[in-house]
Structure 1
Amino acid sequence: MRADRLVSLVLLLRQRGRLSATALARELEVSTRTVLRDIEALSAAGVPVYAERGRHGGFALLPGFQTELTGLNHDEALALLVAGSRRGAQAFGLGTALASAMRKVVDALPENQRATAAGAVQRLLVDPEIDLLARRTVAEEVPDTVVAEVRRAVFAGHRLRIHYAAAGEKPKWRTVDPIGLVTVREQGYLLAVRGGADRTYRLSRVLAASALDEPAQRPDRVDLGRAWQERSTRFRTGGDQVVVRLRAHPSRRGDLVNTALTVHDSGADADGWLCVEAAFQDARHAEWALWHLGTDAEALAPQWLRDRLHDRAAAVVERYRCNAAPGPSD
C-alpha cells in the first residue's frame, strides 16, 4: 500500500508541479503527517524532491526528473477496465485505484501527448453529480472493507458469507456462491446462488462480508448481461406488482418510462393524450409515480388508486385553504 502511495506522490508532482502538503494529502486520501513522512522516504531513496517555503510554497521535483515506476497493480488495472463509468469504479470500491491508475497512464504518455491529453480532459465532463435542475445523484455508500471482501470472493471463485439486511427484515448471515457484480444507476448488486436458487443482493445492504476458503459452486464462465436481464425480468413479473391503466400528456412519457417497470402504449385519446398501461412494483410505487406526474397524468384504473390520489390531493387543498399562513402567535 505504501509503495503504491509513494509512486502516486511522485507522479502527482511530475504532472502538476509544485503542490502543498495539504493538496497532496487530499489527493492521496491520507493525513499531511503521512505526506511529510513519505516525502522524507523519497528523499532518502534518492528521489530529488525538495521543499519551497513561503505562502505559495510546497513540494516539487527537480526539473527533468524521470521515473519508470508506472506499472499498474491488480486493482488499478481492474479500475481501468470499468472506467467506462467512473461511478462504476466507485460502486465497486475502486475509486482510489482508478485515480492512481490514471496518474500512471498519463505519466506513461510521451511529453507532447501528455500536454494535449491534459488539455482535452478539461473540455470533457461525463456523468456529473447533478443535472440541469440541480438534482443531485446520491451514490450508495458501501464500506471499502465489505466491497473488498465481496470482490475477492467473486474473482477467486470462493464462497462468501454476508451479513445482509433485506428490506423490512432483521439482518441475517447468509453463505452464497458469488457469480458477479453489477452496477446500475449508482447502485451496486451482487449476483449469487444460494441453495441452488438465483439471488440478487444490494451491496449497500451488506453489513459485513467474509470470503471463505471453500470453492464456490458456480459455472466456469458466465454471461453477466444475460443473467442480469433474466433476473430483471423475473423481478418485473413477480411479487406484488400493480398494473395501472392511465392517460398521460405526451411530454411526460419519458418520466413515466423512467419510473414504471413496464409501459405499453395503446394510442392516443381525443385530447391527444397517451393511453397507457403501466406496471409498478407495488401499490406504494404506483401512488408515488402518479402523484409526481401531477395534472399531466390521470389514473383510470384501478379505482382504489384513484381514491388514494383523490384523498391525497384533497388533504393538500385543505392544508392550503387559508389565505395566509398562521403567525407565530396563532
Structure 2
Amino acid sequence: MRADRLVSLVLLLRHRGRLSASSLARELEVSTRTVLRDIEALSAAGVPVYAERGRHGGFALLPGFQTELTGLNHDEALALLVAGSRRGAQMFGLGSALASAMLKVVDALPEGQRDTAAGAARRLLVDPETDLLSRRVAGEEVPDGIVAEVRRAVFSGNKLRIHYAAAGGPARWRTVDPIGLVTVREQGYLLATRSGEDRTYRLSRLRAAEELPEPAQRPDLVDLDRAWQERGTRFRTGGEDQVVVLLRMNPGRREELAGTALAVLSEETEADGWLRLEVTFQDARHAEWALWQLATNAEALTPQWLRDSLRDRATAITTSYGAPS
C-alpha cells in the first residue's frame, strides 16, 4: 500500500510540478503528516524531491528527473477496464486504483504527447456530481473494504458470506455463489446464486462480506448482460406488491413515464392523440409518486384507489393554498 502511494506521489510531482503538502494529502487521501513522512522516505531513497518555502511554496522534483515506475498492478489494470464510467470504478471500490493507473498511463506517454494529452483531458468532463439544475447525482456509498472482499470472491470463484439487509428487514448472514458485479444508474449489484436459485443483492445493503475458501458452484463462462436482462424481466413481471395501472397521458411525457415504470405492458393511440397505456409499478407508493409527477399530463383510469389517492392529495394542496398565508 505504501509503495503504491510513494509511486503516486512521485508521479503527481512529475505531472503537476510543485504541490503543497495539503494538496498532496488531498490527492492521496492521507494526512499531511503522512505526506511529510513519505517525502522523507523518498529523499532517503535518493529521489530528488526538495521543498520550496513561502506563500506559493511546496514540494517539487529536480528538473529532468525520470522514473521507470509505470508498471500497472492488478487493480490499476482492472480500473482502466471499467474507466468508461468513473462512477463505476468508484462503485466497485477501484476509485483510488483508477487515479493511480491514470497517472502511470500519462507518465508512460512520450514527452511530446504528454502535454497534448493533458490539455485535451482538461476539455472533457465525465459524470459531474451535479446536473444543469445543480441537483447532486445521487450515488450510493459502499465501504471499500466490503466491496474489495466481494470483488475478490467474484474473481477467485470462491463462495462469499455476506451480512445483508433486505429492504424493510433486519440484516442476516447468508452464503452465496458470486457470479458478477453490475452498476446501473449509480447503484451497484452483486449477481449470485443461493442454493441453486438466482439472487441479486444491492451493494449498499451489505453490512459485511467475507470470502470463503470453498469454491463457488457456478459456470466457468457467464454472459453478465444476458443474466442482468433475464433478472430484470423476472423482476418486472413478478412480485406480490406490484401494481398495474391503466392510464391516459400526453405523448410528450411518454419517455419520462417509461423511464420510471417497471414495464409498459400495452400501448395505443386514442383519437385525440393521447396515449392509453397499461403500466406496471413496483408498489402502490411508486405508482402514486409517478403519476403525481406528471400532473395534468396524465390521468389514471384504474385502479380506483389510485384515482382516489391522487384526488385526495390534490384536494389537500388546494385547501392549503386557498387559505390566507
Q: Please classify the TM superposition score into its range, dividing by the shorter chain length.
A: over 0.9
Aligned partner letter, 1:303: Q
Determine the C-alpha separation between the residues in 2 that align with 1:54 and 1:294: 60
Given the two structures, how large is their TM-score scaled by the length of structure 2?
A: 0.97
Determine the C-alpha separation between the residues in 2 that align with 1:22 and 1:53: 14
SS in 2 for 1:65: coil
Counterpart mapping for 1:67-78 below 5 A:
67-78=67-78
* Cross-structure match for 1:294: 295
* Cross-structure match for 1:32: 32
Counterpart mapping for 1:141-220 below 5 A:
141-220=141-220
Determine the C-alpha separation between the residues in 1 that align with 2:250 and 2:119: 44
* Cross-structure match for 2:261: 260
Aligned partner letter, 2:316: A
Task: Report deviation, 1:257.
Answer: 1.2
| Percent identity for Structure 1 against Structure 2 | 79
* Cross-structure match for 1:316: 317
CA RMSD of aligned residues (A): 1.1
Determine the C-alpha separation between the residues in 1 that align with 2:232 and 2:266: 21
Q: 1:173-202 CA deviation, whole Å, 9 max, x = no partner?
A: 000111110000000000111011010000
- Long gaps (5+) in structure 2: none
* Cross-structure match for 1:98: 98
Farther off after superposition, 170-179 or 120-129: 120-129
Q: Determine if the alignment matches structure 1 residue 6 to structure 2 residue 6.
A: yes
Aligned partner letter, 2:216: A
SS in 2 for 1:72: coil
Aligned partner letter, 1:304: W
* Cross-structure match for 1:119: 119
Aligned partner letter, 2:181: L
Compared with structure 1, are the counterparts of its residues 265 and 250 closer, same or farther at alpha carbon in structure 2 (3 Å cutoff)? farther
Determine the C-alpha separation between the residues in 2 that align with 1:191 and 1:69: 36
Task: Report deviation, 1:265.
Answer: 5.8
Farther off after superposition, 260-269 or 183-192: 260-269
Q: 1:190-244 CA deviation, whole Å, 9 max, x = no partner?
A: 0111011010000000000110111111111111111111111000000022111
Q: How many residues align?
A: 324
SS in 2 for 1:153: helix
Determine the C-alpha separation between the residues in 2 that align with 1:267 and 1:170: 43
Task: Report deviation, 1:294.
Answer: 1.2
Determine the C-alpha separation between the residues in 2 that align with 1:278 and 1:131: 28
Given the two structures, how large is their TM-score scaled by the length of structure 1?
A: 0.96
Compared with structure 1, are the counterparts of its residues 199 and 264 closer, same or farther at alpha carbon in structure 2 (3 Å cutoff)? closer
Determine the C-alpha separation between the residues in 2 that align with 1:157 and 1:303: 50
Contact 1:242 1:286 (8 Å CA) reproduced: yes
Counterpart mapping for 1:52-91 below 5 A:
52-91=52-91
Farther off after superposition, 241-250 or 153-162: 241-250
- Long gaps (5+) in structure 1: 326-330
SS in 2 for 1:69: coil
Q: Determine if the alignment matches structure 1 residue 281 to structure 2 residue 272.
A: no
SS in 1 for 2:221: coil
Determine the C-alpha separation between the residues in 1 that align with 2:278 and 2:184: 25
Contact 1:265 1:274 (8 Å CA) reproduced: no
